[in-house]
């Protein structure tokens, strides 16, 4: 921009058209929704609010994908799920739902009015939390999958180990638990991770 005296004048970034909208920490969330979201995280006062990597509208609020959490709610209530807690899940375009199953079997979903980039971020963040994944055959082509996961919100988080049986196997079958435990111990020893 040229000033009154003919010299170049640099406008501050905040004066640029649309500045502060697409790159802001709030990603366009209304102030009261963002404040409720941050308050629900119970962060120390010195901690900055987490970045919002993607967001989508839900019938009764908003769903937010952050570096460490999938969060959904509104000004009254928020639910947070760590990416490392999700065993499996994904986007179903027919039902317009993002579904997941946690380790332990608990299921959840959130309906998204306009999913945007959230389904892609869901896959990326769940995969990013996986440190190690190894299939160990038990009976023919069936077996157990051993997975080491890390909480993406903590740089010093320990690895959390999970064993998941393939279809057609049961933890109640003779020897399955013992073989799975032995395989887990071997994987931990192999990678020197305890």
Tokens for 136, please give them.
């160990």
pLDDT digits (tens, 9 = 90+) for 19-33: 444 456 677 888 899
C-alpha–C-alpha distance, residues 119 and 12, integer Å:
36
**Which CATH number is associated with domain 13-128?**
2.30.29.30
Q: CATH 2.30.29.30 occupies which residues in the chain? A: 13-128
pLDDT digits (tens, 9 = 90+) for 60-101: 999 999 999 999 999 999 999 999 999 999 999 999 999 999
C-alpha–C-alpha distance, residues 114 and 95, integer Å:
12
Q: Is the pLDDT of residue 148 over 70?
A: yes
Q: DSSP character for 156?
A: T
Tokens for 8, please give them.
């170049």
C-alpha–C-alpha distance, residues 159 and 180, integer Å:
18
At residue 17, the pLDDT reads: 44
């Amino acid at each position: 921009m040229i000033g009154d005296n003919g010299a170049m004048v640099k406008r501050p970034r905040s004066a640029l058209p649309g500045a502060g909208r697409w790159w802001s920490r709030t990603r366009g969330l209304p102030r009261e929704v963002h404040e409720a979201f941050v308050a629900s995280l119970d962060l120390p006062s010195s901690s900055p609010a987490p970045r919002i990597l993607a967001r989508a509208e839900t019938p009764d609020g908003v769903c937010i994908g952050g570096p460490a959490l999938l969060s959904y709610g509104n000004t009254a209530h928020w639910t947070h799920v760590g990416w490392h807690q999700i065993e499996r899940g994904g986007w179903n375009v027919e039902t317009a739902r993002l579904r997941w199953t946690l380790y332990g079997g608990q299921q959840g979903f959130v309906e998204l009015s306009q999913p945007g980039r959230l389904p892609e971020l869901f896959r990326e963040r769940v995969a990013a939390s996986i440190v190690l994944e190894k299939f160990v055959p038990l009976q023919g082509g069936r077996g157990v999958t051993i997975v080491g996961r890390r909480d993406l919100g903590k740089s010093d988080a320990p690895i959390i180990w999970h064993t998941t049986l393939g279809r057609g196997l049961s933890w109640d079958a003779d020897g399955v638990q013992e073989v799975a435990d032995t395989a887990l111990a071997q994987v931990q020893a192999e990678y020197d991770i305890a």
